[in-house]
């Protein structure tokens, strides 16, 4: 596995591979890799001649400096996972390489990013979109892979790629969960033992609500109230939001029914988890 740290070298490598007729799959990450990331890598390796994984903790998408500081960093372990999954290139630029002195341009992501994550984390998706576009320009992939746990993020990136005419397919991959149902996340390692034992209740309750909505036409307000009431009753969680949206447009839905998705953000202490289940 080759490790590249500069944008110029990354562009040169990718140009040579594409000139040789090879498709390039790309998975952008912030490191602290886990089996959810590994599934993305596997999808790319299966579908493409070459696979690039980036590791860059993007300061622009954090609205809380302490959250940025606490984000886990474990490059040595990440290299082991990437090599195990037959990744060809690990792209590991530093902050100055991505945001050199004088950098000022930020992408505005518009209305699709104005609610849920965008409402509760001001500027988050502008930061995500900016770094993803920079990474896509560096790697120039045929297709880029994102996990469906970040449901709104996938929709935002698809919109940005479409609006800016970036020649790259955006592929989403099903959320990977542990045996308890908890969605795999780099943030899980920051949970206390007590909270780690309680966190699977997020998916359990989401699944119960989704099943109810599949068989009975139900108002979104009633289902949101159920989640807001029941999760804190059985865990130490604080619910930040629960929204039911059209799975394609992400517009709020009045009725929780087929073709909608339940999206939630929950706090366990100072750790924020997100999840979603489509109906």
Of 37, 88, 124, 195, the catalytic one is 37
Active site residue 37: yes
What burial class does residue 15 get, using C-beta atoms within 10 Å of its C-beta: 0-12 exposed, 13-18 middle, 19+ buried?
Answer: exposed
CB neighbour list of residue 191: distance below 8 Å, 6 or more residues apart: 199, 268, 269, 271
Please give the full DSSP string across 102-160, using - where no structure is assigned: T--------GGGSSTHHHHSTTHHHHHHHHHHHHHHHH--SEEEEETTSHHHHHHHHHH
Residue 54 in tokens = 């980036």
Q: In angstroms, rounded to a whole number, what is the distance separating the alpha carbons of residues 96 and 101? A: 7
Q: Which residues are catalytic?
A: 37
């Amino acid at each position: 596995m080759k490790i590249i740290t500069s944008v110029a070298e990354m562009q040169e490598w990718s140009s040579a591979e594409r000139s040789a007729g090879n498709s390039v799959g790309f998975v952008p990450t912030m490191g602290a890799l886990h089996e959810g990331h590994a599934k993305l890598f596997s999808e790319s390796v299966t579908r493409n001649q070459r696979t690039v994984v980036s590791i860059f903790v993007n300061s622009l998408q954090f609205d809380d400096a302490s959250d940025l500081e606490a984000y886990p960093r474990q490059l040595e372990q990440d290299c082991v996972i990437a090599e195990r999954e037959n990744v060809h290139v690990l792209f590991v630029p530093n902050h100055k390489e991505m945001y050199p002195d004088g950098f000022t341009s930020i992408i505005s992501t518009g209305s699709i990013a104005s609610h849920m994550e965008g409402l509760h984390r001001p500027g988050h998706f502008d930061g995500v979109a900016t770094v993803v576009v920079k990474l896509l320009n560096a790697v120039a992939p045929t297709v880029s892979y994102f996990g469906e746990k970040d449901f709104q993020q996938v929709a935002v990136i698809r919109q940005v790629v479409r609006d800016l005419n970036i020649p790259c397919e955006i592929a989403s991959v099903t959320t990977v969960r542990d045996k308890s149902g908890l969605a795999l996340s780099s943030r899980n390692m920051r949970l206390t033992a007590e909270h780690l034992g309680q966190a699977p209740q997020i998916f359990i309750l989401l699944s119960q609500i989704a099943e109810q909505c599949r068989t009975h036409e139900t108002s979104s307000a009633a289902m949101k109230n159920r989640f807001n009431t029941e999760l804190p009753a059985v865990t130490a969680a604080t619910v930040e939001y629960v929204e039911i949206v059209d799975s394609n447009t992400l517009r709020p839905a009045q009725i929780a029914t087929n073709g909608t998705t339940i999206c939630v953000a929950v706090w366990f202490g100072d750790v924020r988890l997100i999840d979603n289940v489509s109906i």
